Amino acid sequence: MEFSNQKILGILKQELAEAVERAYAHAYAILKLEDRAEPRLIEACIAEQVAALSAKLVTTRGANVVMFPGNDGRPAEPTHMISKDATASSAAQELIIATLRQRSEASIRELQAELEEYGVEVTPGNLSVILSRLNQSGTIMRSGRGLYKFAG
């Protein structure tokens, strides 16, 4: 890696660390005002916000481009332009729904293992986004911390 790339990488990592510190401070302040400032709730609050934000992001235009839908005024890309990752997400979504229909509930780890067993490669971050979207659509429900069940 070139020196300039190392410097940029170092700066980006520092900015990310500062952003995470701000997220913790904000979550703590919110929960403190709600009289619920417990360490486990702070991380859960941050995780929910990250999942909600991730569900709004559009990443199919390019590997390193993240955009919020509707911000650029351009129409959505045709389906033949959708990346391999989007196809994997669709397969993962279908498999998650099928798995939760068969079981009363499943943990994130169980769902990840099920995806791996069927050869569907989904990163933990992408799995979180998929679960968040399915939860927001009402297809699945969160039945506990890290546990999901079919809503239908």
101: domain CATH number is 1.10.10.10
List the domain range (segments joined by +) for residue 112.
79-150
Q: Is residue 27 part of a domain?
A: no
**Tens-of-pLDDT digits for all 152 residues of the chain?**
566 777 787 787 888 888 888 888 888 888 888 888 787 888 888 888 888 777 776 555 444 444 545 544 444 444 333 344 555 667 788 888 888 988 889 999 999 998 888 888 888 888 888 898 888 888 899 999 889 999 87
Is 142 a domain residue?
Answer: yes
Residue 109: what pLDDT?
92
Instruction: Give the pLDDT confidence score for residue 65 in this predicted structure.
Output: 47
DSSP string, 31-44: HHHTT---HHHHHH
**Are the C-beta atoms of 148 and 112 separated by less than 8 Å?**
no
Q: Give the pLDDT score at 104.
A: 86
Structure confidence at residue 81 (pLDDT): 38
Predicted TM-score of the model (pTM): 0.45
For residue 3, what pLDDT is reported?
61
Does any domain span residue 140? yes
How many C-beta atoms surround the C-beta of residue 95 within 10 A?
A: 18
Is residue 14 in some structural domain? no
For the chain, how many structural domains are there in total? 1
What is the pLDDT, as a whole number, of residue 1? 53
Q: Please give the Cα distance from 68 to 35 (Å, whole number).
A: 33
Residue 130 falls inside a structural domain = yes
6 located within any domain: no
**What pLDDT does residue 63 have?**
47
CB 54 within 8 A of CB 132: yes
